[in-house]
Amino acid sequence: MNSAPTFDRVYTRIRSRILTGWWRPSARIDLTLLADDLNASITPIRDALYRLVGERLVVLGVSEGFAVPSLTEPDLHDRYRWNEMLILLALGSLTKSPLGLPVSLLEPENLETHPARLFQEIAKRAGQSELVAAVNIVSDRLAYARIVELKLGIATLGETTDLLQALDDGALGVRRAAITRYHRRRLQQCGRNVNAIHRDARHDYM
């Protein structure tokens, strides 16, 4: 039986690697090499990977092997569209103006994490726990794509500033238009993003 500290450490490290693009999409995860690298036995490694399968961040391959999910342009397109649909759904139930979104979202540091935090805040204000959970899941599955957005110049601090101003405007039509515009920009760049993701993995061998 795994000790909680060992499992938590292994799970956190593997999850962080997935979210930051340690492996290319479809890359096989070698349990033995990963166990050596993380100084852990195979059992907590496998247990952590099974948990990540449940979070849709890892997939089961042949013979109970593990791999990073594949990512094609249509795959990324679907993730962005699903995120857009969820946020538009949340906005439909909000009447407060302004929303009181965190001013820290206007800071230039960790800009790649701003979308996940912003969309989580919007979902929370809708008062639906299942909606919050769905937004968090798709944010995890978009995490590395959002890092690449910065590298490609798709995401900028100016864009975040404009988005926050529109969301605090108060009119539902203005808010919805801003969210649609934000996602349209990314949908148009899915091909560039996917190509960069496939080029930019760090350690495909683990």
Please give the Cα distance from 161 to 46 (Å, whole number). Answer: 42
Q: Are 90 and 122 in contact (CB under 8 A)?
A: yes
Q: Are residues 108 and 182 in the same domain?
A: yes
Q: Are residues 42 and 82 in the same domain?
A: no
Query: Is 141 within a domain?
Result: yes
Q: Are residues 20 and 96 in the same domain?
A: no
**CA distance between the termini of the chain:** 24
Long-range contacts from 30-38, C-beta under 8 angstroms, 24+ separation: 30/205, 30/206, 31/66, 33/205, 33/206, 34/206, 37/206, 38/9, 38/10, 38/13, 38/14
Q: Which pTM does this prediction carry? A: 0.89
Query: Is 203 within a domain?
Result: no
Q: Are residues 22 and 89 in the same domain?
A: no
Query: Is 204 within a domain?
Result: no
Count up the domains in the chain and report the number. Answer: 2
Domain that holds residue 12: 4-70
Q: Are residues 133 and 44 in the same domain?
A: no
Instruction: Report the pLDDT value the prediction gives residue 4, as an integer from 0 to 100.
Output: 77
Going residue by residue through the chain, which has 206 residues, state the pLDDT in tens, using 9 for 90 and above: 456 789 999 999 999 999 999 998 999 999 999 999 999 999 999 999 999 999 999 999 767 689 999 999 999 999 999 999 999 999 998 877 777 777 787 787 888 889 999 999 999 999 899 999 999 999 999 999 999 999 999 999 899 889 988 988 778 899 999 999 999 999 999 999 999 998 876 555 45
